[in-house]
Structure 1
């Protein structure tokens, strides 16, 4: 249901938890990449049972986001 709502609004869908530190850094990387119009290289996660991370990439060629665990 959340995915359908995000698609209708043309918005990203990101599950996060500051207590468990899930996708916290990813959210900041996505926000910065969209603000500065650069491509974010974080892999999207759509599998059931995993923390969802779905976003829309910008079309610029600069790349600064890297997955860091």
Structure 2
């Protein structure tokens, strides 16, 4: 969770560095970012942040979660 794109990129870089210390890597082909922002709707033009694709929704444990905050089974 980050308040800005720059903060998210910095956090992803830290995650990548710490993971590498334990011999782990980040699969950026499977890593997605979802922007949830009730005040601004201009995020739809953003296609990627860092090396991560920006998505409008994703499935987590069988439930569809979208950027409006709704969750459907």
Q: Same fold (TM over 0.5)?
A: no
TM-score, L = length of structure 2:
0.30
Which of the two has greater strand per residue? 2
Select the structure with the greater relative contact order (CA < 8 A; seq sep ≥ 6): 1
